[in-house]
Amino acid sequence: MTEKKIRVLVAKPGLDGHDRGAKVVARALRDAGMEVIYTGLRQTPEMIAEAALQEDVDAVGLSILSGAHMALAPRILDLLKTNGQGDVKVFLGGIIPDEDVPGLKAMGVTGIYGPGTSTQDIVRDVRIAVLGELAA
């Protein structure tokens, strides 16, 4: 039996035109041995949920710089649940004001990362979230 690979979808929902951050995270996850499906820019929540389903991912990383996270995150979480993927862990990176963090966590977002976050923290958190505490 082959070892379990962690599959992560990295997506840019909404109208952001800038994906350097998402690509940095994608590469960091790859360097940690994960398989990263990168969707590219301007994804609708429906496209993201569809990709998550087809690729049977363990986690979804959303990169949102536009400030639309309070609208986009719940929509995506909702679609994942509707599709039977409520156990997929959702991570959010980009420009997220501190005051929005508790609300997002309450919605079900597992981790929120602003500019300057160490990619190693993200890698560690994804591993723990997907494989359990022992995986750290």
Partner 1 sequence: MMILVQDLLAGNRLALSRLLTQVENDTPDGRSALNELFIHTGKAHLIGITGPPGVGKSSLVNQLAIHIRKQTGKIIAIIAVDPTSPFTGGAVLGDRVRMRDLAGDSGIFIRSMASRGMLGGLAHATSAITQVFDAAGFDMVLIETVGAGQAEVDIARLAHTTLVVEAPGMGDDIQAIKAGILEIADILVINKADRPGLEHTERALRGMLELAHPVRHVFQHHGRTEIVESPKDNQELLESTWIPPILKTIANDGSGVPELAESISAHAQYLTQSGDWNRRERSRLETELESLIQDTLTSQFRANLPEEKYARVMAQIIDRKLSPWEAVLALMNGRQH
Subset of residues 53 to 72 that bind partner 1, contact rule: CB under 8 A: 53-56
In whole angstroms, how close is the CB of 68 to partner 1 at the nearest point? 19
Is residue 114 within the footprint of partner 1 (CB under 8 A)? Answer: no
- Find the binder of partner 1 among 66, 85, 117, 119 (CB under 8 A): 85
**Burial level of 17, CB count in 10 A (0-12/13-18/19+)?**
exposed
Q: Does 39 bind partner 1 (CB under 8 A)?
A: yes
Q: What residue has token string 């429906």? A: 46
1 binds partner 1 (CB under 8 A): yes
Token representation of residue 124: 């560690």
Neighbours of 114 (CB within 10 A): 13
Among 35, 97, 103, 121, indicate the residue that binds partner 1 (CB under 8 A).
35
Is 43 or 110 the residue whose CB approaches partner 1 more closely? Answer: 43
Which H/E stretch holds residue 119? helix 119-131
**106 closest CA partner among 82, 77, 131, 72:** 77
Residues near partner 1, by CB under 8 A: 1-2, 4-5, 7, 26-27, 29-40, 43-44, 46-47, 50-51, 53-56, 83-85
